[in-house]
Amino acid sequence: MSVHDTAEPSRRDFLYIATGAAGAVGAAAAVWPFIDQMNPDAGTLALAAIEVNVSSVAPGQSITAKWRGKPVFIRQRTPEEIEQAKSVPLADLKDPVARNQNLPADAQATDANRSAPGKEQWLVMVGVCTHLGCIPLGQQGPYNGWFCPCHGSSYDTAGRIRQGPAPENMAVPPFEFISDTTVRVG
């Protein structure tokens, strides 16, 4: 064993470690703005949940609220519209899946699985056509539901795709009635 073999770190070892640590901190500081810009902006976070007063919506009427930058259709359906939606056999549906975020992903697209639990007259859905993201027109088309004039997709009174190029039913966002007149979306 020579005089120069020691277990003690040398000054050179310390400088290597300090330089590496400073480089790592500098790289992290340089990369952080790129990572941080991927977070949702404050406006999106503020709209993570909205509360909508539906007391003035009469049967047969709907309102549109904005949630996470998308329109949400809230409709109080008439008894005739409910019966029309209930009478559709599942085999006639283009998309047999409910697309309701409040239910399991494989729930069937029955009228009950598309409407508000215990308040079947209420329909809450993201008002975006599932074909190319257009905004369908309400109480239009051959099924008296929603019609997207851009490419001809028709939805029934439960927001289920019935004809046209749209591949899926309109999505039902997470929602709940927090009172008889207020629905929380998100």
Q: Pick the catalytic residue from 27, 44, 149, 151.
A: 151
pLDDT on residue 45: 61
Q: What is the mean pLDDT of the chain?
A: 88
Residue 52: pLDDT band by 50, 70, 90 thresholds? Answer: very high
The percent of residues above 70 in pLDDT, for the chain, comes to: 92
On the question of pLDDT at 40 being above 90, the answer is: no
pLDDT on residue 182: 93
Residues 21-26, mean pLDDT to the nearest whole number: 88
Domains of the chain with bracketed CATH? 45-185 (2.102.10.10)
Q: Is 131 a catalytic residue?
A: no
On the question of pLDDT at 48 being above 70, the answer is: yes
Residues 72-81, mean pLDDT to the nearest whole number: 94
For residue range 91-118, what is the model confidence (pLDDT) as tens digits?
999 999 999 999 999 999 999 999 988 8
Residues 59-85, mean pLDDT to the nearest whole number: 93
The percent of residues above 90 in pLDDT, for the chain, comes to: 58
pLDDT on residue 44: 62
Residues 8-32, mean pLDDT to the nearest whole number: 85
pLDDT on residue 5: 60
Per the model's pLDDT, the better-predicted residue between 176 and 37 turns out to be 176
Q: β-pairing, 161-163 with 175-177?
A: unpaired
